[in-house]
Chain A
């Protein structure tokens, strides 16, 4: 992994404009899925130009939180503002890009990478493709290193390539804010590296990022702030946790004689420096890793 620049290099280059409203702002967010409360009073602010990682065990509410932030799930209480506007028709949707968790189920009708990425050009009241859409789609696919796959059906691409198509779909509208839900879960190594390189370039250009992760991994040098969820509440909001000695290097390799110890050590990457939840977070993350490996 040589494409990553030293982490602190970009951080000072994009100071948030003092008068600009935050990119993402959630206040007192409560969300229920069916009868069970999944989020219980979450406050979250992401300022312009910030790179925030959302961490937590499976079931802690990370995906529910980002899906609520982009308007997919209705909150039962609290409110969300994107770029200063309450969720709804007033949000400048063309400036927000969302990368959902990849669903591997094959769609009913085959579709090419170009067709999927083109749908990212439609937002808000824009219901028809703009002129020159092919060139923009090609440019977005080029950003994720898949320009030569534009006419391949997505079901023939690898999992990591499918994930990159979804990232290109979010990038094609040239957003200022990018919300990603587990973009590297179950993704092959070349796609992880391509993803980290793409993110490094985007953050360097001032992109605001909120990303759900299981481990900081390749993105560690970019992340400025970590928000940790546990049982639907924010239990940590601040500096990224320090990785264990030997894991701080972004290109350290996991060389383990045994598959199981690999998951243990990856879980330790996100161990927090303090707090009583530390041990249980690790335990939950362990099972999460097992699930991701399936």
Chain B
């Protein structure tokens, strides 16, 4: 089987389109999360989305829908959005620290998901496809949902980049500029929730966050600007998603896991090589124009040398 067979295989075509879009948009949202020091937010949302999947399943089974997981993805979207809005509210109220709120969501999301799937007549095995991805079963309808949601994520994430940067970079200044900070924070939270649900099919809920965060970590190793970090993140995201998925066409391994391992491998190589390249540049004084305003006393000074007080 060659490359041509792969790109003409309709299963593979749908999967490649989904992987490409997710690889493009997940790092865009991830850049804002890293900027806000909420790198683990995607994980928290992913866990909550699992409860949503099970809830959708339960409702579908109760209504006698066929197949009974037809409401799983809508359930995940609803739960993810609700969870991310909840985290944002908790963060804003400041009663509970952000990481504590995230931890509670982690445990509640998984436990709730496993509990509900049992009530729906399934087993925890039914959740495996959502936990670790199921890109080979992407349908044409799934592709259209992915196109629509990724389009929305890119439209907001790139179109409002300057103001989302402002809010993520210095929230206090954004408030003092009269910006609608609450609405913008909510926008980031909802973008993160939508990203989690579209990436669920590709890498699975447990690995979703890796696709949002690891490409950004690579980007900030090699660039000095917010815009370029986002750009490099998206390029890396697309590359690892498409490469990882293509490899699974020939080798029977989990696409989600392979994509994440590839991304972390790229990070490790860049982190190892980057200092070697940086050392080649001549060492320069970073602030050559700043005069030396501290007079260092010499032992043979004029008797006015300073003493250090404890």
Question: A residues engaging B (CB < 8 A)?
Answer: 67, 70-72, 89, 91, 93, 96, 98, 100, 107-112, 115-116, 118-125, 127-129, 151-153, 156, 158, 161, 169, 179, 188-190, 257-260
Contacts and interface: CB of A to CB of B under 8 A. Distances in A.
A158 B160 contact: no
A129 B34 CA distance: 23
A109 B216 contact: yes
A209 to B, nearest CB: 16
Contact of A119 (B162, B178, B227, B309): B162
B5 interface: no
B306 A122 contact: no
A98 B178 contact: no
Interface string B296-310: 000000001011110
Contact of B227 (A100, A115, A189): A115
Contacts of A189: 291, 293
Given A119-B166, A120-B173, A151-B225, 8 more contacts: A72-B175, A111-B226, A119-B162, A124-B178, A158-B290, A188-B293, A189-B291, A258-B309
B252 interface: no
B224 interface: yes
A54 to B, nearest CB: 16
Contacts of A110: 220, 223-226, 229
A118 B291 CA distance: 29
A98 B176 contact: yes
A65 to B, nearest CB: 13
A161 B289 CA distance: 11
Nearest to B173: A100
B127 interface: no
Contact of B179 (A112, A124, A152): A124
B289 to A, nearest CB: 8
In this complex, which of B174, B290, B304, B308 has the most chain A Cβ atoms within 10 angstroms of its Cβ?
B290
Given A98-B173, A115-B165, A109 B229 contact: yes
Contact of B35 (A70, A109, A151, A156): A109
The 6 closest A-B pairs by CB, nearest first: A93-B178, A119-B166, A153-B224, A70-B176, A123-B177, A98-B176
B224 A112 contact: yes
Given A100-B173, A158-B290, A190-B291, A111 B309 contact: no
A112 B228 CA distance: 10
Contacts of A153: 224-225
Contacts of A152: 224
A128 B164 CA distance: 10
Contacts of B159: 128
A91 B176 CA distance: 11
A97 to B, nearest CB: 9
Given A123-B178, A127-B179, A129-B162, A259 B309 contact: yes
B160 A109 contact: no
Nearest to A89: B178
Given A91-B178, A93-B178, A119-B162, A109 B173 contact: no
Given A98-B173, A100-B170, A109 B220 contact: yes
In this complex, which of A98, A110, A151 has the most chain B Cβ atoms within 10 angstroms of its Cβ?
A110
Contacts of A129: 162
24 contacts: A67-B172, A72-B175, A93-B178, A98-B176, A109-B220, A109-B229, A110-B223, A110-B225, A111-B169, A112-B226, A119-B165, A119-B166, A120-B177, A122-B163, A124-B179, A128-B159, A151-B224, A153-B224, A153-B225, A158-B286, A158-B290, A188-B293, A190-B293, A258-B309
